Amino acid sequence: MTADKKLLFVITQPVVGGAQKYVFDLAKNLKDKYQVSVACGGSVAGHLFKALAGEGINTVHIRSLAREVRVLGDLKTFFELIKLFRKERPDIIHLNSSKVGFLGALAAFFYKLTTNNHEPKTIFTAHGWIFKEDMPGWKRRLAVFLERKAALFKDRIICVSRDDFNQALKRKIAPPRKLYVIHNAVGETKFLSRKNARAEVGRMIGREISDDVFIITNLGRLYANKGLNYLIEAVQETRDKIPNAILIIFGDGPERENLKSQISNLKLADSVFLAGDVPEVAKYLVAFDTLALSSTKEGFPYSILEAGLAGVPVVATDVGGVNEVIKDGETGILIEPKNSQALTEAILKLESDRELAKKLTRGLKKTVTQEFSFEAMIQKTEWVYKV
């Protein structure tokens, strides 16, 4: 396609997160082929707005768009999106997140009904289906129902993992002809030296980090489905055997206060640190001794790919598409979710058996570089735009 084609991404929040990284990477790498714009809710001071501005990419602020379900606010968002589509007249509307996936698809449908001679393609990327989260049965059935209805108004659905694809088929979200698997991938990352990375991370948490400190990390949003309460329990359980271990959690979100309370109640203020949102956090990964992914629900997390390139051993829960890259005993340690004891045992194993840790990092790096090409992700996505 030529640069006269308009590509509009729509996403709910401008925070530091996987879906936001996905939108940024696509927008940055397709801006020479399309007239790219990104529409987003939340604060205009958010990270995504700043990052896109730095690349000279046009952004649109949807004031009424929020993550929470708000009937009047969502109705306003629906009409704002129709107005935006009429103004921008995009050739491709690429929706991201469940909230925007529903409202955006419906708005695109009404836009097409009321506009002559313009039928943009509506693409949706599922960054882990919402109905995979822990929720009451009635709520899961409602989520599945809404996803099915929204899928009627989507031309193509990109699943970032084979698991999401299989879940879509199992739940009859959409026919197979609409579904495509395109794994997330990471481009070239410039990591700091281990010495400089540990010094920078030390400044972030307000303490000096000596060479003998064993650092566990977790990257992501502070949501309940990240299972961080289990990880914090695991760190407490490792204290007797690894007294010099600390956990640094990067990211922000609605669970922050609950996690702070847990850290305080377990008297872990000197061992567990909430570092908040840190842009380009991947460049600090070489500072850490283990990446622990404790999620109860995932799509296909960037953090394990980034850890692979950084040479950091990974312990991860077997959820979503995680096992499509982490093979137990080959590229990492895979454990069941919601099990702090399993997390504890895996962390202890990686700390005590450094030869195993090296073997796993070699296997993960090889897998990430050979099987999850960033260039292939971009090319496959553009191909979906064309079919």
Digits of tens for pLDDT over the chain (387 positions)? 457 899 999 999 999 999 999 999 999 999 999 999 999 999 998 999 999 999 999 999 999 998 787 888 899 999 999 999 999 999 999 999 889 999 999 999 999 999 988 899 999 999 999 999 989 999 999 999 999 999 999 999 999 999 999 999 999 999 999 999 999 999 989 999 999 999 999 999 999 999 999 999 999 999 999 999 999 999 999 999 999 999 999 999 999 999 999 999 999 999 999 999 998 999 999 999 999 999 999 999 999 999 999 999 999 999 999 999 999 999 999 999 999 999 999 999 999 999 999 999 999 999 999 999 999 999 999 999 998
Q: How far apart are CA 57 and CA 55, in angstroms?
A: 5
Q: What are phi and psi of 32, to 5 degrees?
A: -85, -15
- Of the candidates 297, 335, 323, 317, the residue with the CA atom closest to the CA atom of residue 132: 297
- Of the candidates 79, 100, 72, 75, the residue with the CA atom closest to the CA atom of residue 12: 100
Question: Whose structure tokens read 């940055």?
Answer: 28
SS3 per residue for the chain: CCCCCEEEEEECCCCCCHHHHHHHHHHHHHCCCCEEEEEECCCCCCHHHHHHHHCCCEEEECCCCCCCCCHHHHHHHHHHHHHHHHHHCCCEEEEECHHHHHHHHHHHHHHHHCCCCCCCEEEEEECCCHHHCCCCHHHHHHHHHHHHHHHCCCCEEEECCHHHHHHHHHCCCCCHHHEEECCCCCCCCCCCCHHHHHHHHHHHHCCCCCCCCEEEEEECCCCHHHCHHHHHHHHHHHCCCCCCEEEEEEECCCCHHHHHHHHHHCCCCCCEEEEECCCCHHHHHHHCCEEEECCCCCCCCHHHHHHHHHCCCEEEECCCCHHHCCCECCCEEEECCCCHHHHHHHHHHHHHCHHHHHHHHHHHHHHHHHHCCHHHHHHHHHHHHHC
Q: What is the pLDDT of residues 74-108, one digit of tens each?
A: 999 999 999 999 999 999 999 998 899 999 999 99
Please, what sign has the CA dihedral across residues 368, 374, 379, 384?
A: positive
Equal CATH topology for 6-185+373-386 and 194-371: yes
Q: How far apart are CA 63 and CA 77, in angstroms?
A: 8
Which CATH class for the 6-185+373-386 domain?
alpha beta
- CATH number for 194-371 (one of 3.90.1580.10, 3.30.420.10, 1.20.1440.230, 3.40.50.2000): it is 3.40.50.2000
Question: Whose structure tokens read 């704002």?
Answer: 80
pLDDT score for 188: 87
Q: Are 143 and 134 in contact (CB under 8 A)?
A: no
- Of the candidates 342, 340, 336, the residue with the CA atom closest to the CA atom of residue 323: 336
pLDDT score for 387: 87
pLDDT score for 3: 75
Q: How far apart are CA 132 and CA 140, in angstroms?
A: 8
pLDDT score for 1: 44
Mean residue pLDDT of the chain comes to 95
Name the residue ranges covered by the structural domains of the chain: 6-185+373-386, 194-371
Q: What is the pTM of this model?
A: 0.94
End-to-end CA distance of the chain: 12
Long-range contacts (CB closer than 8 Å, 24 or more residues apart) made by 174-177: 174/148
Chain centroid to CA 192: 22
Please, what sign has the CA dihedral across residues 340, 309, 94, 219?
A: positive
